[in-house]
Amino acid sequence: MIIEMTHNNLQDINKANQPFDVIGKIVPKFVDGVWSFSECVYDESYEKSYPNDDEDWGDYIDNPNKIVFFCYDDDDCVGQVRIRKNWNGYAYIEDIAVSKSHRKKGVGRMLIQKTVEWAKTKKLYGIMLETQDVNLLACRFYDKLGFKIGAVDTMLYSNFDNAHEKAVFWYMKF
């Protein structure tokens, strides 16, 4: 079940934000105006996690320009997607997370579909998001759903410990 975040379920924010496996990276290529990528699978994988975002979560409630949806399995929050209208006419997925126990069970696909529905009600042109080149499993997922690479940013993480990572911007046009 996917429902909008409200004051009643605000406590479920970030419950699905759990570590993920880094098994390799994509190697984007831009030729003749078209992005493609190959994969580099690592000999050894490692686990990576992101800290919980510290936001004014109440600002996402009853806001026509941004929203959070939760996915529940019974009463357990197993996924979330945080979305906002972006200046370029796309719905921007600020964050999407699925708990480890529910990965590869269709939760991510349902959250993307809910994002598509929300974006269409806002008369937006599509959806966009950013992930790192080392998040190969996520990149495969977005590619499988029909997202296309629109840009690669080599400087976005240059001031952090993950300076070697590239930011990959994915787009799904309607």
Question: Total domain count for the chain?
Answer: 1
Give a yes or no: residue 164 inside a domain.
Answer: yes
Tokens of 116: 């598509």
pLDDT reading at 4 higher than 90: yes
In a domain, 52, yes or no: no
Q: Looking up tokens 């941004």, which residue turns up?
A: 66
The angle at the Cα of 16, spanning 132 to 82, to the nearest 5 degrees, equals 65
In a domain, 84, yes or no: yes
pTM for this predicted structure: 0.94
What pLDDT was estimated at residue 53? 85
Instruction: State which H helix or E strand residue 118 sits in.
Output: helix 107-121
* Per-residue pLDDT band at 51 (split at 50, 70, 90): confident
Domain assignment present for residue 91? The answer is: yes
pLDDT tens digits, one per residue of 70-128: 999 999 999 999 999 999 999 999 999 999 999 999 999 999 999 999 999 999 999 99
Query: Has residue 105 been placed in a domain?
Result: yes
pLDDT score, position 55: 86
What is the average pLDDT score of the chain? 96
Domain CATH for 90: 3.40.630.30
Q: Residue 116 domain-assigned?
A: yes
Query: What residue numbers bound the domain in which 31 lies?
Result: 2-47+57-173
Q: Assess if residue 109 is contained within a domain.
A: yes
Q: Give Cα 48 distance to the centre of its chain.
A: 15
CB-CB contact of 41 with 136 (8 Å): yes
Q: Distance between CA atoms of 161 and 171, rounded to whole angstroms?
A: 27
Residue 6 lies in a domain: yes
